[in-house]
A = this chain, B = another copy of it.
Amino acid sequence: MILVNGVEQEQIEVTDRGLHYGDGLFETIAIVNGRPQLWQAHMERLLEGCHRLGIPLPDVAQLAAEAAAACVGSGRAVLKIIITRGSGGRGYLPPADAQPSRLLFCYPWPAHADDAAPITLRLCRTPLSCNPALAGIKHLNRLEQVIARQEWDEASIGEGLMCDPSGHLIEGTMSNLFVVRAGELLTPDLSECGVAGVMRRQVLALADALLLSVRVTRLAVAEVEAADEVFITNSVLGIRPVSRFETVQYHDNPLTRRLQSALRERLEREYA
């Protein structure tokens, strides 16, 4: 089901600035037992994105009601919410009276999300550009990911990692990256580049609760190659262990499994 500004329809105005400029934001949310997971964190990131772009803040209670309507009857599903600045303005300057558009899409739960087997990563050539004005938020300017995702078509490769222009690893095309090295959990700093994933934030909170040593840092390709464990995260996949990155194999993943258990417990407690 698709809801556009609360109405079930499959069309949007061609003047919408989401289409013309990517002038908006989105969230991709797991629906489990009919309820959106980590809703609060998704809404916080969405509101932060609206604030950063100068888009009027959506009514979160209204979004929650529409999310329930869009996903009614779905035990498990994926909810995508798009907020654009709405229509209008000839040129880049937003009109003062822009009315944001709300689009909610309820998709079937993807079969691959249940596959717990560790996945293989590749290194993408397409760089992620740096811009502190856009870093962290989940905006609609996603051409870099679209180009990177076209670099491979082997079904055996589950995700591609992307670097910033200076060659530091930032994230996957659709996921965040964590590595374990000498008992320490490392994840790339996203202050200039990348999307600050809701599941990434959740994993950092779990690691904190488990008193793990955590470092948010610059991460070179060689450091990922030399890691003891590697995993990726997103809201639908959760925590997904990595068995291989290009030619490097990873064998055991005890800390990854510990975090997976902690995540499962946390979500079961909250969404039982």
Question: Judging by beta carbons under 8 Å apart, are A92 and B127 in contact?
Answer: no
CB distance from A236 to the nearest CB of B (A): 10
Interface centre among A12, A82, A94, by most chain B C-beta atoms within 10 angstroms, is: A12
Question: Judging by beta carbons under 8 Å apart, are B14 and A14 in contact?
Answer: no
How many copies, total?
Answer: 2
A146 and B19 contact, Cβ closer than 8 Å, known pairs A130-B165, A131-B165: no
Chain B neighbourhood of A128, CB < 8 A: 131
Nearest B residue to A18 via CB reads B19
Is residue A97 within 8 Å, beta carbon to beta carbon, of the partner chain? no
Chain B neighbourhood of A126, CB < 8 A: 133
Which residues 2-46 of A sit at the B interface, judged by CB distance below 8 A?
2, 4, 9-23, 26
A133 and B142 contact, Cβ closer than 8 Å, known pairs A26-B20, A92-B174, A110-B90: no
Chain B neighbourhood of A16, CB < 8 A: 19
Is residue A134 within 8 Å, beta carbon to beta carbon, of the partner chain? yes
Is residue A147 within 8 Å, beta carbon to beta carbon, of the partner chain? yes
Report the bound CA distance from A140 to B16 in whole Å: 12
Nearest B residue to A52 via CB reads B147
CB distance from A148 to the nearest CB of B (A): 8
Count of chain A residues near B, Cβ 8 A = 56
Report the bound CA distance from A23 to B19 in whole Å: 9
Question: Judging by beta carbons under 8 Å apart, are B22 and A143 in contact?
Answer: yes
Is residue A254 within 8 Å, beta carbon to beta carbon, of the partner chain? no
Is residue A76 within 8 Å, beta carbon to beta carbon, of the partner chain? no
Chain A positions near chain B (C-beta within 8 angstroms)? 2, 4, 9-23, 26, 53-54, 82, 84-85, 90-94, 103, 105, 107, 110, 126-134, 139-150, 165, 173-174
Given A12-B13, A14-B105, A92-B173; 14 other pairs, CB 8 A cutoff = A2-B14, A9-B14, A10-B14, A11-B11, A17-B146, A19-B82, A54-B150, A91-B149, A92-B142, A92-B146, A92-B148, A93-B150, A129-B134, A133-B144
23 A-B pairs with C-beta separation under 8 A:
A2-B14, A4-B14, A10-B13, A10-B14, A10-B15, A11-B12, A11-B14, A12-B12, A12-B14, A19-B82, A20-B82, A20-B142, A21-B22, A21-B140, A21-B145, A22-B142, A22-B143, A92-B142, A92-B145, A94-B150, A129-B134, A133-B144, A140-B143
